[in-house]
Amino acid sequence: FPLLAAVAARSVRSFNAQDLSNTAWAFATAGEYSSELLDAIGDEACGRVCEFNRQHVAMLVWAFTTLRHCHESLFRIVGEAASVDRKSWHSAKLLAYALASLPRLCLELGSRVVTLRVASEILEAFHDRVARGASEADDAHTVHD
């Protein structure tokens, strides 16, 4: 992983938004931390936030909070673009986990207002899911955290 992280960190300028979020997600899923790679991804994402869809934002924020990597600019800028895709409970779950993890990093998602808006959107998505009878056992745990 260290060699892969070093090569990826030097290549992020050629990555599209999906590549950036998938790379961060893959390292977080594997539990592999590279501050060099995360800083490079965060810096690149900050300049290209308009290219990120809701899923990309959710994956990126989840990866950074999972690896407990503080990139204040990323959370401020990407936070403004964060919103819950009510059709994708998976992205809502990623954002819920990220919001629960932000206090450990002493960060907010964009601003306090944005953080509260996203939390409200997650609760609305959960309510919709329950109302449709589509909820699963771990959904309440996701919202509780």
pLDDT digits (tens, 9 = 90+) for 99-139: 888 888 888 877 888 888 888 888 888 888 888 888 887 77
- In sequence order, which residues have a C-beta less than 8 Å from that of residue 31 and are 6 or more positions away? none
As for how many domains the chain has, the answer is 1
Q: Are 70 and 107 in contact (CB under 8 A)?
A: yes
**Structure token pair of residue 123:** 């609760």
The residue among 33, 58, 67, 143 whose CA lies nearest residue 109 is: 58
Residue 117 pLDDT: 87
Residue 84 confidence (pLDDT) above 90: no
Q: Give the helix ranges, DSSP H, for the chain.
A: 2-11, 17-30, 35-47, 54-66, 72-81, 89-101, 112-131, 139-144
Q: pLDDT > 90: what percent of the chain?
A: 43
- Residues of the domain holding 90: 2-144
- In sequence order, which residues have a C-beta less than 8 Å from that of residue 33 and are 6 or more positions away? 27, 67, 69
Average pLDDT over the chain reads 88
